[in-house]
Amino acid sequence: MSIENQGGGGQRGDLSPEDKAAFERRIAGLDKRLGDVKSREAAATKASRGRSSQNRGMAYGLRMASELVAAVLVGGLIGYALDHFLGTKPWLFLVMFILGFAAGVTNVMRSYDKVQKDVAKTTGGNIGHAVPDDNDD
């Protein structure tokens, strides 16, 4: 058929219905194979991203507790020293201790904000975003 067509006056781009059907089958097959490869690659990058973000999560987690404790310690220490020099025992210690706690909570909240920003950056800002399916017409 195709030979006939080429010999005839038909244009080059013209295909017989059977050829066209075969061609479309091939395209569909390619689409499917490409989709398979794409989804496999996506799964692989997702897995590696999950691993690295797990490490990152651990790094962030290790930070939080010490941020809180250190601020309380420093607040208490400053208060204690001021009390010692100003002779106002124990009032400044109590005030600074509470302020230290507030500073600790501020620290933790700030580093949490930063974690959120970092996570949004590594995942492109779309956590749980679905890959669009381009097989459907």
Both tokens assigned to 122: 């590594």
* Subset of 20-79 contacting other proteins (CB under 8 A): 55, 58-59, 62-63, 66-67, 69-71, 73-75, 78
| Per-residue H/E/C for 68-129 | HHHHHHHHHHHHHHHHHHHCCCCHHHHHHHHHHHHHHHHHHHHHHHHHHHHHHHHCCCCCCC
Q: For other proteins, which residue of 114, 116, 120, 134 counts as binding (CB under 8 A)?
A: 114
| # chain residues binding other proteins, by CB under 8 A | 23
Q: How far is the CB of 42 from other proteins (least distance, A)?
A: 24
CA distance 38 to 67: 42
Q: How far is the CB of 66 from other proteins (least distance, A)?
A: 4
Helix (H) or strand (E) holding 56: helix 17-86
Q: Which is nearer to other proteins, 6 or 52 (CB)?
A: 52
For other proteins, the binding residues (CB under 8 A) are 55, 58-59, 62-63, 66-67, 69-71, 73-75, 78, 96, 99-100, 102-104, 106-107, 114
